[in-house]
Amino acid sequence: MKTLIVSVVTPDGPVMEAEYEMVSLKAENGELGILPGHIPLVAPLKIGAVRLKGQDGTDKLAVNGGFVEVRPDKVTILAQSAEKPSDIDAERAREAKKRAERRLETKQDDIDFRRAQNSLRRAINRLDVVENR
Q: Which residues bind ligand ATP (CB under 6 A)?
A: 12, 64, 81, 83, 87-89, 92-93, 96, 119, 122, 126
Residue 130: which of 80, 96, 79 has the closest Cα?
96
131 three-class SS: helix
Min separation Cβ 98 and ligand ATP, Å: 10
Q: Which is nearer to ligand ATP, 38 or 60 (CB)?
A: 60
Minimum CB separation from ligand ATP for residue 37, in Å? 31
Q: What angle do CA 90, 10, 48 make, to 5 degrees?
A: 50
Min dist. Cβ of residue 33 to ligand ATP (A) = 25
| Residue 8 vs 52, nearer CB to ligand ATP | 8
Q: Which is nearer to ligand ATP, 60 or 122 (CB)?
A: 122
Q: Which residues are within 8 A (CB) of 2 and not within 5 positions of it... i.e. 6 or more apart? A: 21, 35, 36, 37
